[in-house]
Structure 1
Amino acid sequence: MEAYVEELCGALWESGRVDRVTVVTSRLPGGDAAERAPSGTTVFRYPAADVITNFPLPMPSRGLGRSLRAAGKPRPDVVIGNTRFFPASLLALAQSRGLGVPYVHIEHGSDYVQLDNPAVAAVARGYDRTIGRTVLRQADHVIAISEAARGFVAELARRSVPVVYRGLPLSALAQTPAAPDAERLATGRPILVYAGRLIDGKGVRDLVEAVSRLEPAVLCVMLGDGPRREDLEQQAREHAVEDRFAFLGYRPEEEVVAWMKAADVVVNPSYTEGLPTSVLLAAACQRAVVATDVGGTREATPDGEAALLVPPRDPAALAAALQRVLDDPGLRARLAAAGFERVRGRFDWQRCVESLLALSSDRVPRAGAPH
């Protein structure tokens, strides 16, 4: 499960106001069969195909039917779905209608999906303007995870919705030690950490270009996997900076946090974000952030106050911001302290759960209607 869903399920259960939480999600071919779920949560997985990278398409099958039937017994009080571009959100809407219960949609996106292939990007935008728009308009309630996501919902679906920020497990984060391998791998160099998928829309090619410009050399730890990994490794070799990168693949959140605690700077070069989890985690770990000024990033870490933000698709600007933070320990400390204070006061799972339960009770007016 995505970290957001896992933590939300845990927070719902810990609220003491939920009897049962069931998650229905995809299993891609070759995916890990092991399942970790929060207390009180049951997980059903159905087969899916990765037609567009990281956007699994449910495959018609007995497994899909079994998962949906099992999740509906006993009948839930509400169905919650995430991100209009995931086909699972359409599945969730249909499931809610079949069960006769409200559908609450949580929108994470702040823009159309960013893809380098123009033909695939056109198909993705067409999907958003038809199926994605339908999901947003037909949901009984919609919430946005950031002001940026709220603006996108208004643009795409002509619907006014509230913003409900996610929470952060601050107590658990505080207890996580720094990665034990950090000093051995860094060999005295400053450490940058990137945590996210290795796909076009995350700006990872810009990051390789930016790291190649930094002096003295750094270690950039890449936590995540995806179809661009081999391309990125080749790009690093072409710049003769392959020794500046450690591609460690997918890591669970505890290890991501451990590496962030070992980092001098956490970097997020993405082209679009609803509310970037890696930036929130970095701020919660009291680490300086350099990121692109997209989506909800500025809401989490304002430019010059809690992070240095640069335009997307600008490797030179990204390199300059990284160099500035690496060269100035005082600036790193100020950004880290301000980022921590900001996320500590704003991102709380209890408030998020209260808002969701209020909507799920269906005793309040609709969050907004299409117009």
Structure 2
Amino acid sequence: MNNYPPKVGGVELHISALARRLADRGHTVTVITLDNATSSGTEDGVRVVRLKGTPSIGGVLAFPWPGAGNRIRKVLRESGADVVSTHTRFFPMSYLGVRAARRLGLPAIHTEHGSDFVRGVSSLVAVASKAVDWTMGRAVLRGAGRVLAISDASRGFVRRLANVDGHVFHNAIDAGFFAEAAPQVPAHPTHLVYVGRVVAGKGWQRVVDVAEALHPKLPDLHVHFVGDGAQRPLLEQSVAATAHPERFTVHGYLDAEGIRGILAGGVLLNPTELAEGFQTTLLEAVAAGAAIVSTPVAAAEYLRGQGASVRTVAADDRQAWIEATEQALAEPLETVSPRLLESMDWSGRTDDFLREAGSASPRGRRS
């Protein structure tokens, strides 16, 4: 895969959590990734092989240097791999991983984290990304012996792009860890939270706007921004320009313990307009006892259908955002059912992955 911790993001967290869980169960796990700044080694029982690549575009997309395919096949042979797992169709490492599996006669299982073509970018980037999807992305999806899609929307996109039937494989979290922070008695939310990259399309501006609209009615309302990104300077400027900048805190990146403490007893605002997969932040919020107001992305719709305290609002409906957030703050937080918590945990999802991997078949050896 292209990215792995210490790089931070939803896909990176998904891959590292799954790798650790598989290693904990006694499986030999090797991750091959691109990273010019971090050395290879064994981390939490997982062997991590880091190859050199080009500087990344937007902190996300990098390309391996020539010869990476040979190096990947060598690592796979040395490790005695019996299945290859790749993630996200447009990453060059996914293409090389699927191709290496085919040449070695190994089954490849691909997990698709996107639900549409890239959004929130310039017209030039949008055209280029679609060209990559229709060529390399389609080749990855068609070359894998098994395709997992982390939401119904992702499965539909896989079908449209490559005419391949994917199997829904929802994202997961350490549900028990986040549930430890949940309020133990019925209480009203006390604050607003934004967790995510501070980049175009994620909607952080909407959070500032909603907070400003509610502050005259709710003078004690505080807003927490967790995350970093290219637009963080703009966020800090926007906060400084509000009538009450002291009611906002821009934290930057926080670890899981810091995030769960801020989510607990709050309302998570998720105004993203991007083509999201299945956001773990929403799972973490529910487990930590937070309410959610979100655009109708896959994870929000799923959790709402499961009875969680989730309201969905169109991204461009300012008044609806203000009203939905005010309603969420006015209602007592709900206790999360044990069944829902269990369904969000990595324990069961690891079982699912092993079953899916066992059913993946090789596409055939190529020289």
Partner of 2:87: 82
Partner of 1:25: 33
Aligned equivalents of 2:339, 2:318: Cα separation in 1: 27
Deviation readout 1:120-143 (Å, 9 max, x if unpaired): 122222222222122111111101
Aligned residues: 344
Q: Indicate conservation of the 8 Å contact 2:149/2:168, yes or no.
A: yes
Aligned equivalents of 1:161, 1:320: Cα separation in 2: 37
Q: Indicate conservation of the 8 Å contact 1:358/1:364, yes or no.
A: no
**Structure 1 position 268, deviation (Å):** 1.5
**Structure 1 position 48, deviation (Å):** 4.0
**TM-score, normalising length: structure 1:** 0.82
2:177 partner letter? A
Aligned equivalents of 2:54, 2:247: Cα separation in 1: 34
2:211 partner letter? V
Matched, 1:55 2:65: no
Partner of 1:353: 350
1:67-146 → structure 2 map (5 Å cutoff): 69-146=74-151
Partner of 2:331: 329
2:239 partner letter? A
1:82-231 → structure 2 map (5 Å cutoff): 82-175=87-180, 190-215=190-215, 216-217=218-219, 218-231=221-234
**Structure 1 position 77, deviation (Å):** 0.6
Aligned equivalents of 1:279, 1:62: Cα separation in 2: 40
Matched, 1:12 2:22: yes
Other structure's SS at 1:127 match: helix
**TM-score, normalising length: structure 2:** 0.82
1:234 partner letter? Q
Q: Indicate conservation of the 8 Å contact 2:194/2:224, yes or no.
A: yes
Shift of the 316–53 alpha-carbon distance from structure 1 to 2, 3 Å rule, reads farther
Partner of 1:258: 261
Deviation readout 1:337-359 (Å, 9 max, x if unpaired): 25x55632422434322332233
| More RCO (CA 8 Å, sep 6+) | 2
Is the deviation greater in 354-363 or in 242-251?
A: 354-363
Deviation readout 1:141-194 (Å, 9 max, x if unpaired): 10111112111111211111211223332233344699xxxxxxxxxx932222
Choose the corresponding residue for 1:344, options 336, 341, 345. 341
Deviation readout 1:223-265 (Å, 9 max, x if unpaired): 111111112222333444533332221222232222212x421
Aligned equivalents of 2:41, 2:255: Cα separation in 1: 12
Aligned equivalents of 2:42, 2:270: Cα separation in 1: 27
5+ residue gaps, structure 2, are 6-11, 184-188
**Structure 1 position 119, deviation (Å):** 1.8
Deviation readout 1:31-67 (Å, 9 max, x if unpaired): 56698833x3111223345654242212316888757
Choose the corresponding residue for 1:310, options 309, 313, 319. 313
Other structure's SS at 2:86 match: strand
Name segments (4+ residues, structure 1) moved above 6 Å. 32-36, 61-65, 363-366
Q: Indicate conservation of the 8 Å contact 1:266/1:288, yes or no.
A: yes
Q: Indicate conservation of the 8 Å contact 1:273/1:297, yes or no.
A: no
Aligned equivalents of 1:138, 1:64: Cα separation in 2: 16
2:223 partner letter? C
Q: Indicate conservation of the 8 Å contact 1:79/1:92, yes or no.
A: yes
Shift of the 118–359 alpha-carbon distance from structure 1 to 2, 3 Å rule, reads same
Shift of the 170–303 alpha-carbon distance from structure 1 to 2, 3 Å rule, reads closer
Choose the corresponding residue for 1:44, options 41, 45, 49. 49
Q: Indicate conservation of the 8 Å contact 2:271/2:294, yes or no.
A: yes
Other structure's SS at 1:80 match: strand
Partner of 1:269: 271
Q: Indicate conservation of the 8 Å contact 1:80/1:106, yes or no.
A: yes
Partner of 2:293: 290
Q: Indicate conservation of the 8 Å contact 1:205/1:232, yes or no.
A: yes
Aligned equivalents of 2:143, 2:29: Cα separation in 1: 23
Shift of the 24–363 alpha-carbon distance from structure 1 to 2, 3 Å rule, reads closer
1:37 partner letter? E
Shift of the 288–236 alpha-carbon distance from structure 1 to 2, 3 Å rule, reads same
Other structure's SS at 2:214 match: coil
5+ residue gaps, structure 1, are 179-188, 367-371
Partner of 1:369: none
